[in-house]
Copies of this chain bind each other. A is one copy, B any other.
Amino acid sequence: MFKSRVTDLFSIQYPIIQGGMVWCSGWKLASAVSNAGGLGIIGAGSMQVGLLEEHIIKCKQATNFPFAVNLPLLYENIELQIEVLIKQNVKIVFTSAGNPAKYCKFLKDAGIKVVHVVASLKFALKAQDAGCDAIVVEGFEAGGHNGRDETTTLCLLQLLKNQISIPIIAAGGIGTGDAILACKILGAEGVQLGSLFAASEESSAHENFKHLIYESKEGDTDLVLKKLNPVRLLKNSFYNEIKQLEIDGATTETLKSKLGKGRAKKGIYEGDLVEGEIEIGQIAAIINQSKSVSEIMKQLVDEYNEAYKKHFC
């Protein structure tokens, strides 16, 4: 019932992929997801090369199942990171935030499966042309950095229908097994979940961050910093300041200066709920307690099976 080109591509049991989120997705989270039958991803975005290598080595020790590394293509030390991936024999790489054409062939020639994250049909077609093995399409409701078109997951999947031949992985706003089945109906052969795993026990996010997620309600996130790089944040004190600046028409320079450096680390990893960025998706509103990765995976699979039986048996 879960078999698809995505489960075949990665040799995994369930087509459930954990987003490679900065400050959340170390070896502990990635290996837990892979051990539970999904695909865990180490988020290289917040790691220096040495730390990335350490996480890959620990992940290999913690699981015998496939896992991946997410590589934002905009970082300066990208070629050093790729060297580490090849040296450590990483088999699957998810690229994001940049042009896949530059590295796709190189990675594939090294025997690596390459998946690129996009937020529009236009870039989905480019990723396909670049030779990617699959794409993640991420809608407006997703947490963290986000596309400029603001197209939602539901609309994106309909836009991609009959336009894309490589496997599609849906992301943004997915928090239940029902939603996984719904995305399948809409043509996605797999899903990528961020928020649920960011708030899980195995996430390396700070406990303060996780507890704020448990307490959050609908409408508590918003997409801001559109003049720089759109990002979905939970509405905390830092958010309120940014929002007010935006309402008042602040320039790019003012916003850049207010943002400064390291806000995501401060919020997510250090648990500074006042001054940090709290990156999370709209679906955070349904998360209300601490769960382990295996509990989350079991719930998703159970809900999926239940929805399937309810509607089709």
**Chain A residues in the interface with B (C-beta under 8 A):** 120-122, 139-141, 148-155, 158-159, 161, 172-176, 178-179, 181-187, 218-219, 222-223, 227, 247-250, 282-283, 285-286, 307-308, 311-312
A151 to B172, CA, bound (A): 12
Nearest B-chain residue to A313, judged by Cβ:
B312
Contacts A182-B182, A186-B178, A307-B185 given; does A219 touch B149 at CB 8 Å: yes
Contacts A155-B285, A182-B186, A249-B250 given; 6 further ones with Cβ under 8 A? A140-B140, A148-B219, A155-B283, A178-B185, A249-B249, A308-B312
Report A35 CB to chain B, min CB distance, Å. 26
Report A135 CB to chain B, min CB distance, Å. 15
Report A120 CB to chain B, min CB distance, Å. 6
Task: Please determine whether B150 and A153 come into contact, CB atoms closer than 8 angstroms.
Answer: no
Task: Please determine whether B154 and A218 come into contact, CB atoms closer than 8 angstroms.
Answer: no
Query: For residue A173, which residues in chain B have a CB less than 8 angstroms away from its CB?
Result: 152, 154-155, 158
Indicate how many identical chains form the complex. 2
Query: For residue A222, which residues in chain B have a CB less than 8 angstroms away from its CB?
Result: 150
A207 to B246, CA, bound (A): 37
Query: For residue A248, which residues in chain B have a CB less than 8 angstroms away from its CB?
Result: 249
Task: Please determine whether A161 and B141 come into contact, CB atoms closer than 8 angstroms.
Answer: no
Could you say which of B150, B172, B175 contacts A223, with CB atoms under 8 Å apart? B150
Query: Can you report 12 residue pairs joining A to B where beta carbons are below 8 Å apart?
Result: A139-B154, A149-B219, A151-B282, A155-B175, A155-B218, A155-B282, A158-B178, A158-B286, A161-B176, A182-B183, A184-B311, A185-B311
Report A275 CB to chain B, min CB distance, Å. 24
